[in-house]
Structure 1
Amino acid sequence: MTTETASRTAAPRVLLNKVPEVTLWFWLIKILCTTVGESFADWINMQLGVGLIATAVIFTVVFAAVLIWQLTRSRYQPAAYWLTVVVVSVTGTLYTDILTDQLGVPLWISTTVFSIGLAAVFGIWWARERTLSIHSIVTRPREAFYWLAVLVTFALGTAAGDWTLELTGWSPGVSVLLPLALIAIVVSCWRFGANPVLAFWIAYILTRPLGANLGDWLASPRVPDKGLGLGTLVTSIIFLAAILATVVYLTLTRSDVIEGRQHRDGGAKYHRPGREWPMAGVMLASAVAAAVLLNWASAQPHANAAAENEGPNPGAKIHLTSAQAVAHFPKTDVARYRTLVRSMRSDLAKSDQGALNGAVNAYEKAWDDDQDKLEPLDKKAWAFIDNQNDDLFTSVRETKNAAAEKQAIDALLKTLG
C-alpha cells in the first residue's frame, strides 16, 4: 500500500520522454542544425549588417522563447524540440564569436573554458540525477540540465572547430575530415561495447565542428578558400528546408518517439561492461593522436615550397603559420598592425563602412612605409602578409561584401597573432 501510494504521488512529476530516439534521423538533423548555426548566424550578423552583439541579443531572446515552449510541452514534439536545437546552435555560435571577435579572447582559452564548463554541467547533473542518458529526460530538472549541456556543447564545438582551423590553416573542405574520422571511431567503439552515454556525448560535441566546417565549405568562395561558393544565405536556406522536411516526416511517422519505452535505452544493445574501459582507452588514444596531428600541422607551412616563388604573385602560394609569419619582424610593428586591423573589425561590426575605409587606408600607409625595413628581414613572410593585404584591400574597396571583408580581416588578424 505504501509503495503504491508513493508511486501515485511521484507519477505526476514524471513526464513522457522529452527528447527523440537516437536514430540515424537524429544525427542527420543534428548535423543540419549545426550547419545552419554557423551559416545563418554569419548571414544575419554580416550580410544584414545587424552586428554581432545585436544579433546575439536577438537570438538570446528567441532562444528563451522557444525553450519555454519546449519546456511546457508534456512530451517530445519534433517541431518544438528541433526548433530549439536550431536556435541554440545559432546562439551558442554567437557566444563564441563574441568572445573571439568582440573581446579578443584566444580560441584556445575559449575552448578550455567551455570544456571546463561542460564538465561542470555534467558533474552537477550526475550528482543530482545519477544519469546522463538522454533516454531518461522525464523530469523538468533533467530537461533543464540537458538543454544547458546542449548550449555549452555548441559553444565548445564552435571554439574547438575554429581553433583547429587557426592551428592548421586547412581549407573548410579538408577540415571536415578530422571530426568525421573521430566520429567514425566513436561509433565503432560504441558498436564494440563502449559506454553508450559517453559515446553519445562525445559524438554530440564532434558533430558541431563537423557541421560548422561543412557550412563553411559550402558557403566559402571557390577562390581562394576552395569552397563551393554558395554563400551563407543559400546554404542556410538549403539546410533549413532540409530540416523542415525532416521534421515534417518525423511528425507524421513518429519514428523517433520514445513514448511507451522511456525506460529502455536503445543504445545499450551494444553495451558490454567488460569492454567499457578498453573502448574508452581507444577513444582517448584517438584524441591524443588528433592533438598530435594538430600540433604537427600547426608547425608546417601549408603549401608546396617548390611553388612558392612561381607566378606573378608569389605571396599567394605561400602559407605560413602565425608564428612563422611574424617571427622576424619587430614586435612593436606587429602590435601596431594588429591594433589597426582590430579597429577594422570593430568598424565592420558596427557596419561603419566609412570608418572601415579610413582604417584600411591607415593600415596600408603604415605597411607601405615599413616595407624597406621589413622585407629584407623575411622576404617570404613579407610576401605572404602583403598578399593577404591585397585580399583585404580588394574586399573593402571593390567587392564591398561584408562576409568577404570579415573573412579577409579575420585571416589577416590571425596571421598577425
Structure 2
Amino acid sequence: MTYETQQPPATGTATGSGPAGVRWNKVPEITAYFWVIKVLCTTVGETVADFLNGRLGMGLTGTSLVMGALLVLALIAQFRTTTYRPGVYWLVVVLVSVVGTLITDNLTDNLGVPLEATTAVFAVALAAAFLIWFKTEGTLSIRRIDSARREAFYWAAVLLTFALGTAVGDLVAEQLSLGYWVAALLFGILIAAVALAHYAMGLGAVLSFWTVYVLTRPLGASVGDFLSQPTDEGGLGLGTVITSALFLVVILALVVFLAVTRRDVTKQEQVTQPAV
C-alpha cells in the first residue's frame, strides 16, 4: 500500500488549514506501526515511572512534578507544529504514559483511594470527555485532529486512557494475582475480541479504537513488569534501566523509520472526506 507524502502548508491558520481547503491532521494514521509503538510507549511509561520513583528515590511526588513539567513542554511543542511530526508526537505519548501512570499511583499509594474507585472515576471522566468533545466538534474522528481545540480534546482523552488503563491493570493484577504473563495474555485476548467485533461484527471504529487504546496500557505494563521485575517475583530480572533503554531504542528506531518513509501520514483525501 502506498501513501501520499503530505507536506506542511506554506501558509495556514491556527487550525492548520492548507491549500485548497485541506486541513492537516496532527496525529498519525492507525497502522500496525501505531499499535506497536503505542504498546512500547506504555511499557516505557511503567518502567520509567518505577525507575524514577524507586531506584532514583525521587518518590511519587517528585517524579510527578518533573514528568508533569516535561509533558507540558512537549505538549507546547506539539501544539506549535502545523502537521503530524513523528518525533514530537511520540515524545508526548511516552510522557503521557508516564504521567498517566503516576496519576493513578498517586491516588492509590499516596491518597489511599481504592482501585475500584479510581477505575470508576476515570471511566466516567473519559466518557464525559468524549461527550463534550462530540457535542463541541460534532465528530470524534482522529483523522480530523486539525485544530487546537480538537487537539486539546484528543490529548485529554489520551491522558485519561492511560490513567484508566493503569487503574484497570492494577485492579486485575492485585485482585486476581494472575502473574505478569497471564495478565498480558488476558488483555491480549480482550484486544483480539475487540478487533474481531470491529472487523467481523461492525463494532464502530471510534469505540473500537479507544477501547483498544485503554487495553494496550495494562498489556504493555504487564510485559514491562515481566521483563523488569526480579525473578523471585515472577519477572526476568532485567531491571527498569535495561528494560526502559531497550524499549526506548526500539521506539526511536521506529519513529525515525516513520519520519523518513511517512507511512503513517493520513492521506489528503481521507482528511477531506466526511468525518467518521
TM-score (norm 1): 0.60
The offset of 1:133, in angstroms, is 1.4
Higher relative contact order (CA 8 A, sep 6+): 2
Q: Distance in 1 between matches of 2:102 and 2:170?
A: 13
How far 1:263 sits from its partner (Å)? 2.5
Which residue does 2:7 correspond to in 1?
A: none
**Following superposition of structure 1 onto structure 2, how do residues 133-148 of structure 1 map, counting pairs within 5 Å?**
133-148=141-156
Is residue 61 of structure 1 aligned with residue 61 of structure 2? no
- What does 1:196-275 correspond to in 2, within 5 Å? 196-223=205-232, 225-263=233-271
Q: Conserved in 1, the CA contact under 8 Å of 2:74 and 2:91?
A: yes
The one-letter code sitting in structure 2 at the alignment partner of 1:58 is V
1:23-172 superposed matches below 5 A? 23-172=31-180
Match of 1:396 in 2: none
- Deviations along 1:198-255, one digit per CA (max 9) or x if unpaired, are 11111111100101111111111112x2211111111100100110000000001000
1:217–1:228 CA contact under 8 A, matched in 2: yes
Partner SS state of residue 261, structure 1: helix
**Counterparts of residues 301-380 of structure 1 (less than 5 Å):** none
1:32-70 Cα offsets, whole Å, 9 max, x none, are: 000000001100110001111010001111000000000
- Structure 1 residue aligned with 2:9: none
Specify the structure having the higher radius of gyration (Cα). Answer: 1
Question: Residue type of the partner of 1:20?
Answer: P
Mapped to 2, the partners of 1:141 and 1:103 lie a distance apart of 32
Q: Deviations over 1:253-310 (max 9, x none)?
A: 0000115234368x97xxxxxxxxxxxxxxxxxxxxxxxxxxxxxxxxxxxxxxxxxx
Letter in 1 for 2:47: S
Q: Is the 8 A contact 1:92 1:151 kept in 2?
A: yes
Report SS of the residue matched to 2:268. coil
Q: Calculate the TM-score normalised by the size of structure 2.
A: 0.90
Indicate conservation of the 8 Å contact 1:16/1:262, yes or no. no
- % of aligned pairs identical? 51
Alpha-carbon offset, residue 74 of structure 1? 0.1
Structure 2 gap ranges (5+)? 1-11, 18-22
Give the aligned length: 256
Deviations 1:363-398 (A, max 9, x none): xxxxxxxxxxxxxxxxxxxxxxxxxxxxxxxxxxxx
**Residue 4 (structure 2) aligns with:** none
CA contact (8 A) 2:25 2:145 kept: yes
